[in-house]
Chain A
Amino acid sequence: MPKQLMTFQVNGETREVAASPTHTLLEVLREELDLTGTKHGCELGHCGACTVLVDGEPVLSCLLLAVEAQDAAITTVEGLARDNNTLHPLQLAFAERGAAQCGYCTPGFLVSGVSLLTRTTDPSRDEIKDALSGNLCRCTGYTKIIEAVELAATRMRETQQPVPSSRSRRNRP
């Protein structure tokens, strides 16, 4: 298939690339845009490692054609840090709580978790499990991951972290 020109809104930036129309968003992110933070563990929707946010909602980039993602605001793990080097509270909490062991599922968990924390900074444990139920981790037994989400939520509540609306995320993730 000849490549075609596609335009994406990724992590607040407009990126134009030539990509195959039969490629998924996962392939284009990793292979054309060099955003290799988004991982893959099955490419069939069975693991959640390739989760990215599309218009603020977690979706699987392995089951989304890149051509179909052109009109949306895409956020990958690389786009979670605000401004230049300020990590999202959930990224910090993952580091501090040892929630990233091998780290391979981490980007997927982070974007699912950030999506939850954007909706609420006071999630119950069940809500946390619901939000992360589409991501598999083989290292942690999920324990430290849940703790990290709770820690980030607490800190976000304490610091009254303004929750960006989905519209503002479109421009600045």
Chain B
Amino acid sequence: MIGTSLPKIDSYAKVTGAAKYADDLTLPRMAHGRILRSPHPHARILRLDIARARAHPGVLDVITAADLPRRYGIMPTTQDEYPFALDTVRYVGEPVAAVVAVDEETAEEALDLIEVVYAPLPTVSTIEEALAREDIRLHDTTKRGNIMKEVHLDFGDVDEGFAQADLVREDTFFFEGTTHAPMEEHSCVADCRPDGKITLWTSTQTPHYVHREVAKVLEIPRSRLRVIVPPVGGGFGGKCEPFAHDFAAALFALRHGRPVKFTLSREEVFYCHRGRHPVKMILKTGVKRDGAITAVHLQTFLDGGAYASYGLATVYYTGALLTVTYKIPRYKFDGMRLYTNKPACGPKRGHGSTQPRYAFECQLDKIAEQLGLDPAAYRKQLAIEPYSTTVNGLRVTSCGLVECVDKVVEASRWRERRGRMPAGTGLGIAISSYVTGAGKAIYWNDMPHSGVIVTIDRGGGVAVLCGSSDIGQGSDTMLAQIVAHELGIALLDIRVYTGDTDLTPVDLGSYSSRVTFMAGNAARAAATKLRALLFEAAAAHLGVPAERLTAADGRIHLADDPATGLAFAEAAQLAEAAHGTLSAVGSYTPPKLGGEFKGAGVGISPAYSYTACVAQVAVDPDTYDLRVEKLWVAHDCGRALNPTLVEGQIEGSAYMGFGEAVLEEQVFRKGLHKIPSLLEYKLPTIYDTPEIVALTVETHDHEGPYGAKEAGEGPLNPIIPAIANAVYDAIRARVDSTPITPDKIARALKERQRPLPAPARPHGAPTPIEVMPL
């Protein structure tokens, strides 16, 4: 069961069209909502008149900030948003009002009848502008200008480290913002029973956080609100917090005792965003002649958009995880997140670690070249030891980094092919690491991060309840497989109920790659308790010691004599007779980790995954078109509980990383998203996506369930620098910003004064060491 590639338990509903996503839900008398959004990137609202909209035939309600005047925000200390703009709008697309009507067309018509008078304000739209224009302030809560958060952390004396170095490089990189673009547009349905209890079905990765925030803003006890997560059509970090439509739907249902649905258009999904931060990075690294790192100093500047979202965590994440891959004795990090008049950035797959990892891996490639080292061997040489502690106090346990490098080097035939590639083609390598769950909840508390209830009925059916949210990664199946494994039954005997705040114990949500590790451990704990009860009852019945029993194939039997035993359902009945109703809880709380400094709560994790990637690219000599031909990705997931699903996560991450490296970018003009559509924001098609070879490395982490770590996010991180490094190998010119477009390649070649195609370098020819003067 564990380690077996079983079909996901929700597969059959998904391949028959039976799975009901939020927008598929219909309730009797259901009304429909639409949202009026700001056309200005920055403006005061002078007047907001909803009288005409209210009077429009078919309109049932109009909701504005006057109805929901309570501030919220996903991070408790940076709450800077209102569901609907109170008196100022700060980005194009910011919700201003919601109309609920008998149908969507009527609601849409009524949006035009809302009269809003704006007084436009000057805007800031880039990191540089946000820094320079302290006179234009988005929020009066900032201490200085538009600096939402500033972080300065020192671990050891980096100046001493740079002084000891033989080579010090300082490079500047820019990582462009990208968005999640899940195929499902955000959607929710809310209803309210006559007794005043609200149910909100919403497409979210974090039902628990939505539960907290919606109840808070509506000023109702949390016990009166039930949040249910239907199947979610993709998230990637974009559905990790409540949105205006959630608040509006819940309020409408409460006021009118009538259901309502809000489904956003694709364009509105672009305005909701919360995606990858654009980050400017200045990275300084000192190395000895043999390549050993003496010190690293990283400065990051995050373009956060108009609101905080998860940005407080993001800015810390841009610094925290740089240290978990290589031996770094001294480290200094300065981070800064800035407000700009654009949709808020937030977490996207690889949250905050993707951008600096890109910078670091590109810089290491430059260092390897200067020192005449093979980039793959160099990474192995630098690799952190398993079961060690990083300079910033992160506890590393299992680490398959070296194995990952070996696997991609072997699979890509790196040693044989690198340096002998045809003109205009190249190979590049990069590695990375990622958390297996954040060590702290977003609101600090001492409660478990995940809880699971398992119950057994008299017929042998098993129910598994957990507050987690399956967004396609297969977390429901993971829970079922673990319980099935412990109880020796088939997946079909198990029903999994997740993401329902009335019925399921809290799980913090599908973010930071935490569910397999945390909910998996909780499920295992619950199932193990029940198994003990079953064994005890079965042992008494069979007259054998419980220690000799095992659970397999729907039976409880002697491990060394399968004939002596009884059916699972029979054992369940005996156990229920002996112990009462069969139900057990399990929960998981991460160990206390990390240092004592401010900010030590970000980056800690019970385990880290490791990944290596080799990319093969070709650059067209006439058009400078970049074609990524193949990606080899080896990922240390600890243990693959379901190998097919792990491969799927690696492949999906590789695809998404490829998109960010080559095609995707958020583009704004005068504060307006230039391309808010799936035609012009370029998601890779099946033709564009490279061939992806997913390789699994198993290190059997001693704290993970059956040794498992994460697989959902980490494999994205090395893809982008591997492609960037391969581009350098192909054209001998560097593009130090993403995405790597034909124009940037053209510019890089022009700057190097080297036209394509560059002749293939003779294999084994020494690269001169150009040690930069200190």
Binding site for B on A (CB under 8 A): 30-31, 34-44, 46-47, 49, 76-78, 80-81, 87, 91-92, 94-98, 100-107, 110, 129, 132-133, 135-146
Contact = CB atoms under 8 A, between A and B. Distances in A.
Contacts of B686: 129, 132-133, 135, 137, 142, 145-146
A46 B184 contact: no
Contacts of A34: 26
Given A41-B678, A47-B678, A101 B648 contact: yes
Contact of A100 (B11, B18, B20, B23): B11
Contact of B683 (A39, A78, A136): A136
B8 interface: yes
A89 to B, nearest CB: 11
B204 to A, nearest CB: 13
6 closest Cβ contacts across the A-B interface?
A: A37-B17, A102-B472, A141-B655, A104-B233, A103-B14, A95-B11
* Chain A binding surface SS class: loop
Nearest to B690: A141
A81 B16 contact: yes
B201 interface: no
B687 A133 contact: yes
Given A39-B233, A42-B266, A77-B15, 10 more contacts: A30-B24, A41-B184, A42-B678, A43-B266, A47-B183, A78-B16, A102-B232, A138-B181, A141-B689, A144-B651
Contacts of B647: 98, 143-144
Contacts of B8: 95, 98, 100
Given A98-B7, A138-B183, A87 B24 contact: no
B260 to A, nearest CB: 15
B531 to A, nearest CB: 28
A20 B265 CA distance: 20
A43 B263 CA distance: 12
B668 interface: no
Contact of A105 (B13, B17, B183, B694): B183
A101 to B, nearest CB: 4
Contacts of A43: 265-266
Contacts of A141: 651-656, 658, 689, 692
A100 B476 CA distance: 14
17 contacts: A39-B184, A40-B23, A41-B184, A42-B677, A44-B679, A91-B16, A95-B12, A96-B7, A98-B11, A98-B474, A100-B8, A100-B15, A102-B232, A133-B687, A136-B685, A141-B692, A144-B651
Contacts of A132: 686
Nearest to A94: B15
B460 interface: no
Contacts of B654: 141
A39 B14 contact: no
Contact of B14 (A36, A81, A106): A106
A36 B17 contact: yes
Interface string B189-227: 000000000000000000000000000000000000000
Contacts of B23: 36, 40
A37 B233 CA distance: 12
B685 to A, nearest CB: 6
Contacts of B301: none
B1 interface: no
A44 B266 contact: yes
A77 B14 CA distance: 10
Contacts of A138: 180-183, 234, 236, 652, 656, 683
A73 B184 CA distance: 27
Given A44-B677, A139-B234, A142-B686, A102 B184 contact: yes
Contact of B20 (A36, A41, A47, A136): A36
Given A42-B266, A43-B266, A104-B21, A143 B651 contact: yes
Contacts of A144: 644, 647-648, 651
Contacts of B644: 97-98, 144
A167 B698 CA distance: 52
Contacts of B19: 103
Contacts of A35: 17
B231 interface: yes
A92 B19 CA distance: 16
Interface residues of B, number: 57
B10 interface: yes
A136 B651 contact: no
B611 interface: no
A45 to B, nearest CB: 8
Contact of B685 (A49, A110, A133): A133
B645 interface: yes
B679 A104 contact: no
Nearest to A106: B14
A104 B15 contact: no
B17 A143 contact: no
A102 B15 contact: no
A9 to B, nearest CB: 18
B185 interface: yes
A142 B689 contact: yes
B106 to A, nearest CB: 12
B17 A38 contact: yes
B17 A107 contact: yes
B471 interface: yes
Nearest to A101: B472
Interface string B673-706: 0000111000101110100101000000000000
A168 B527 CA distance: 50
Contacts of B678: 41-42, 44, 46-47, 136
B125 interface: no
Contact of A41 (B185, B655, B687): B185
Nearest to A126: B687
A76 B24 CA distance: 15
Contacts of A78: 16-18
B182 A102 contact: yes
Interface string B227-239: 0000111111000
B114 to A, nearest CB: 23
B18 A98 contact: no
B513 interface: no
Contacts of B18: 37, 78
Contacts of A107: 17
A100 B16 contact: no
B473 interface: yes
B7 A95 contact: yes
A36 B23 CA distance: 9
A153 to B, nearest CB: 16
A130 B323 CA distance: 44
Contact of B231 (A42, A103, A110, A133): A103
B182 A104 contact: yes
B349 to A, nearest CB: 11
Given A102-B233, A137-B183, A141-B655, A87 B15 contact: yes
Contacts of A96: 7, 11
B261 to A, nearest CB: 11
A135 B527 CA distance: 41
A35 B23 CA distance: 12
Nearest to B691: A143
Nearest to A22: B105
B652 A140 contact: yes
B183 A102 contact: yes
Of listed A91, A97, A138, residue having the most chain B CB within 10 A: A138
Contacts of A133: 685-687
